[in-house]
Chain A
Amino acid sequence: DIQMTQSPSSLSAFVGDRVTITCRASQSISRSLNWYQHKPGTAPKLLIYAASALQAGVPSRFSGSGSGTDFTLTISSLQPEDFATYYCQQTYSSSITFGQGTRLEIK
């Protein structure tokens, strides 16, 4: 299986901060990388697909970049509702895998 490693595992930030989360694949996955936001008690929400395409309805402060093995999710100006856990997911392989998650907390 392709291993997906996110960093950091947790992060504290202020409202208004710019935040970047990285995701590294154990082998090249081209641009087959998606990002999700997950809050307790709710279903995960798709933010970014195909590495950089913004899902409909997602605020433009979210952006994604990267290809091959290295990817980033950036939140340009954190809002109170953005505090959640973020996951990357590769769909390049027929055996789909998620990163371990990055917990974003309020400082």
Chain B
Amino acid sequence: QVQLVQSGAEVKKPGASVKVSCKASGYTFTGYSMHWVRQAPGQGLEWMGWINPNSGGTNYAQKFRGRVTMTRDTSISTVYMELTRLTSDDTAVYYCARGVAGYDFWGQGTLVPVSS
């Protein structure tokens, strides 16, 4: 069965970086794009970008360009999302999601509180 398992919660200080992993199983890893979506406390869903695990190609939301990097390691079927120069506004739950027509499978979410 398809599963996306994300890394655990990380507390960060302002100015730091965070790198969240998402390990896929149960399907052909290189056959589907992987997207990242976040939800800040009390806010809605926000799309951050996607990566093509086959080619490594990426497309980032304008808001995050220059601060976000999405990468993949095909040998372990894992994608990564790194966000730099964190501020309190980046406090959120971060999700990876498999892209088909819509996001049919999601990771469990990774909480990243940013606080001094």
A complexed with B: yes
Q: Which B residue sits closest to A48, measured CB to CB?
A: B102
A50 touches B109 (CB 8 A): no
Of A44, A50, A96, the residue contacting B95 (CB under 8 A) is A44
Of A89, A94, A100, the residue contacting B102 (CB under 8 A) is A89
Knowing A1-B62, A43-B108, A94-B59, the reply to whether A34 touches B45 (Cβ < 8 A) is no
Q: B43 to chain A: closest CB distance in Å?
A: 9
> Restricting to B48-103, which residues have a CB under 8 Å from any CB of A?
59, 61-62, 95, 97, 100-103
Q: Which B residue sits closest to A57, measured CB to CB?
A: B104
B10 at the interface (CB under 8 A from A): no
Interface of B is mostly: strand
B44 at the interface (CB under 8 A from A): yes
B109 touches A43 (CB 8 A): yes
A55 touches B62 (CB 8 A): no
Q: What is B's interface to A at a CB cutoff of 8 Å?
A: 35, 37, 44-47, 59, 61-62, 95, 97, 100-104, 106-109
List of 10 A-B pairs having minimum Cβ-Cβ separation, nearest first: A43-B106, A49-B102, A34-B102, A49-B101, A96-B47, A101-B44, A98-B45, A46-B102, A100-B44, A46-B104
Since A96-B47, A98-B37, A101-B45 are in contact, a sample of 18 more A-B pairs with Cβ atoms closer than 8 Å, ordered by chain A residue number, is: A1-B62, A43-B95, A43-B106, A43-B108, A44-B45, A44-B97, A49-B102, A55-B104, A87-B45, A89-B45, A89-B47, A89-B102, A95-B61, A96-B61, A98-B44, A99-B44, A100-B44, A101-B44
